[in-house]
Chains A and B, each alone.
Chain A
């Protein structure tokens, strides 16, 4: 691809992008949210036509008229959100929309060999043609999407943030498959925010910024810091800004808390002015612990003690499903937990709502045009700021934050880290769940690891390393094993 341009209205989403893919490589496409990665891939996969510039595929000019046409040329896209019909089987999903048929009747027997061949290339024990997708975990589902591409004999595979919802183990499984496909000569475009993963899997990289190619090269020849610098366009002195804060008195104490299912046992004490991290694998019960504390799920055993007069607020993991009402305005989202201050003689005052929203927007430096804008108009990072502002408006003393920087670009991440530090400095208590270990190590004061529903003993952040966190997350600590025995 060379000199590709694409504009939406007045927004120049792509402004001259060059990208070169070789057969049998994993090519990382890196850039902040809004840099144009997804648009570029939509052009490549035929979802949007390019305004200018050209593409060549195996020496021939390539101009897909739509995603199906692109697929016929061997270019397949695997989207960020999984596009699977969970009620259907693996086989039905793989052929969905392109079923082989004769006079309207499905030709299952003819479809089967291709499915089996594709699944053999993936080599995953759980995925059988007749398995219902709803029975599969997120990692396996991702592979079903890959199988769908393989059945159509894709030679270029575009993966947009494929690991964002995968646990470490599923990610490794996916990487194994990607390496195998690479050996078979497939070119893979790999889009990810996780630079550590890029370093692990990719051969070469291209960095986009503001719709332009700003850097490219071989992984291993440049350092991660250099890549981050060209992504952000400025030098990142500190990804984890340190805001001075000190732990005060205990506000929340949790004793041997258990839910129906997960978590099985969790005890912790949280103080004002403290950021407490919870590490662990996806599915270990971390989200469930926060939901128990927030009162969203019933408690089976144990006790939760909150200092009198304090309140708790939860920042949900999934912004789209649970975190925000995306069709409603920023103001409506932000003020929802506490409408009382907006009341004037029993009626909601829109002026007050607007004033209140403007105050938070300013305080948290949310980039938006207007407080009445619908939430879906904002970027992920700014949506997350609105969700955090909502907790602040709620006047929560204890903030339960589930993956606070998921789907947020590097620049906004830094702002959110600084904000969390400030909240702790103001005397709030923060409980942070994250799958991104550098983040926990960068912002937390103490960290515990959750392993199969059991929360391990907390240790000061200085006593942890990525290795030791990962070790305990995958194998459990000594004492949690004793508990489970």
Chain B
């Protein structure tokens, strides 16, 4: 499998597929390197940006599966908050941090399971089902935390997101490596497993998938469980970073995550998308935000820029599609 991955990494078609977000990322980095050469290109700053990307990046891994399948998950922000609260509450109760982390991830997976069952079993469209879950998860997080932050010892979970030198591995916090590792693994899952193949088939043409005997409902449940679990993991790391379980954290984060996936070249109508693209999209947004901060560009400019980039990414994609259709 490793030989396969390395060979396919250099596949020209693969490179063109992520050319958009890659170019965007290079342009942003080049631009700010010129504007702020000393600080922006430093290792320390890269460590900052990478650490900021972890939460959105992890969420984007699961979201890529959902979007490739033609769905959407609006509940990930709320799930991040809920699982950070769950992990914090358990850690405060003196439970081993590893167990608390697993319970946080499990909470996310459980929310995803409910999403999947409602979507596949009851036929509620993903937008509505996950919109409902967004409210429920957020509300439940507030109930658990009694509308306050839960202060708890995060122990080695805090280390995962710590930028201090002795907590890092090869110059980067371990959480960043975890994100890269999981992204590579899930990228392979999306491209090289039955679940991945079915995800693409469902997103491209659900009727065809059904016709071919794909168990569409079951695949969808797995896809949303996966997305929930990754949101849960992102929540656990949020707890690690803040060392508090905050029910109001990650408000609107689902939109950043969806934006990362879309900038990364996934199509909201399904059937297209790559984990590598989504991670690049997450980095693009983080580099942009960081550059704006360093150069003292006000926050609202950032928001305008990111909005414009999302539209531009999708518009470029459309142009590419149209050209492809014309040549045939």
Q: Say whether A and B bind each other.
A: yes
Interface residues of A, Cβ cutoff 8 Å to B: 8-9, 294, 296, 314, 316, 321-328, 332-333, 335-337, 339, 343, 345-350, 372, 376-377, 390, 394
Known: A325-B209, A348-B194. A8 touches B327 (CB 8 A): yes
Question: By the criterion of a CB under 8 Å from any partner CB, how many residues of chain B are at the interface?
Answer: 30
Instruction: Name 10 A/B residue pairs within 8 A (Cβ), A-sorted.
Output: A322-B208, A324-B205, A324-B208, A336-B208, A339-B197, A347-B4, A348-B196, A376-B325, A390-B212, A394-B212
B193 within 8 A of A: yes
Inter-chain pairs besides A328-B201, A336-B201, A377-B328, 6 sampled, C-beta below 8 Å:
A316-B211, A325-B271, A327-B272, A332-B201, A337-B214, A339-B197
Interface residues of B, Cβ cutoff 8 Å to A: 1, 4, 8, 13, 188, 191-194, 196-198, 200-201, 204-205, 207-214, 271-272, 325-328
- Expressed in whole angstroms, the minimum distance between the Cβ of A331 and any Cβ of chain B is 10
Which chain B positions have C-beta within 8 A of A8? 326-327
Q: Are B327 and A328 in contact (CB under 8 A)?
A: no
- Expressed in whole angstroms, the minimum distance between the Cβ of B67 and any Cβ of chain A is 14
Separation of A336 and B211 alpha carbons in the complex (Å) = 10
Which chain A positions have C-beta within 8 A of B271? 325, 327-328
Which chain A positions have C-beta within 8 A of B198? 336
Q: Are B208 and A350 in contact (CB under 8 A)?
A: no
- Expressed in whole angstroms, the minimum distance between the Cβ of B3 and any Cβ of chain A is 11
Q: Main SS of the interface on chain B?
A: helix
Which chain A positions have C-beta within 8 A of B188? 347
8 nearest interchain CB pairs?
Answer: A325-B204, A325-B205, A337-B212, A322-B207, A336-B212, A348-B192, A347-B192, A325-B208
The chain B residue with its CB closest to the CB of A393 is B212
Q: Are B212 and A347 in contact (CB under 8 A)?
A: no
- Expressed in whole angstroms, the minimum distance between the Cβ of A438 and any Cβ of chain B is 28
Separation of A377 and B197 alpha carbons in the complex (Å) = 20
Which chain A positions have C-beta within 8 A of B4? 347, 349-350
Which chain B positions have C-beta within 8 A of A348? 191-194, 196-197
Q: Are A9 and B327 in contact (CB under 8 A)?
A: yes
- Expressed in whole angstroms, the minimum distance between the Cβ of B206 and any Cβ of chain A is 9
Which chain A positions have C-beta within 8 A of B8? 350
- Expressed in whole angstroms, the minimum distance between the Cβ of A34 and any Cβ of chain B is 12
Q: Are A343 and B194 in contact (CB under 8 A)?
A: yes
Which chain A positions have C-beta within 8 A of B205? 322, 324-328
The chain B residue with its CB closest to the CB of A311 is B213
Q: Which of B197, B272, B325, B326 contacts A332 (CB 8 A)?
A: B197
Separation of A9 and B328 alpha carbons in the complex (Å) = 10
- Expressed in whole angstroms, the minimum distance between the Cβ of B8 and any Cβ of chain A is 7
Q: Are B200 and A376 in contact (CB under 8 A)?
A: no
The chain A residue with its CB closest to the CB of B194 is A339
Which chain A positions have C-beta within 8 A of B208? 316, 322-325, 333, 336
The chain A residue with its CB closest to the CB of B210 is A296
Separation of A350 and B327 alpha carbons in the complex (Å) = 26
Separation of A394 and B208 alpha carbons in the complex (Å) = 14
Separation of A19 and B6 alpha carbons in the complex (Å) = 56
